[in-house]
Structure 1
């Protein structure tokens, strides 16, 4: 299964946000990236060093998928990249 990773195209991808407000604003801005993936029924994901972003995406992705009547299964993990923890979330079709 190949995942289309949304991260890597934005400067904020490597940022650890100071407040939950900043996290909510950032994650809400990712809606378009995820919704386009759902419309094409791709496996889509995001990786970040900030677990708060992944926690919020865990709440929002099912809602976003529901807007396009797509059922998704979510997956999360933590990996180490160059000595740093990276948190990932991705979807797969049910």
Structure 2
């Protein structure tokens, strides 16, 4: 499965935010990047050392997809990169069943 990873474009991608308000503002600012991929039905993902960002994206991604009339499955995991935790979230398209 090919995923368009959005992290790495902004300095905030590696930041651990101090407050929930900062996390909320940052995740909402990612909407144009995510929506561009979701609208074109491209699997899209984001990785960050801040688990709070992933928690917000877990709520927002299904809402954004619904708004764009796209069905997706949201996946999450945690990996080690250079000895540090990186939390990741990504989408995959829902395969539509074509009956007989």
Q: TM-score range by the shorter chain?
A: over 0.9
Structure 1 stretches of at least 4 aligned residues deviating more than 6 Å after TM superposition: none
Equivalent residue number for residue 39 of structure 1: 39
Could you list the runs of 5+ residues in structure 1 that have no partner in the other structure? none
- CA shift at 1:42, angstroms? 0.2
Paired position in structure 1 for 2:70: 70
Q: CA deviation at 1:46?
A: 0.2
- Equivalent pairs counted in the alignment come to 94
2:28 corresponds to: 28
- Matched with 1:57 is 57
TM-score (norm 2): 0.93
Q: Which has the larger radius of gyration?
A: 2
What displacement does 1:72 show? 0.4
Tell me the distance in 2 between the aligned counterparts of 1:29 and 1:39.
17
Q: SS of 2:87's equivalent?
A: strand
Task: Give the distance between the partners of 2:84 and 2:16, measured in 1 at CA.
Answer: 12
Per the normalisation by structure 1, the TM-score is 0.99
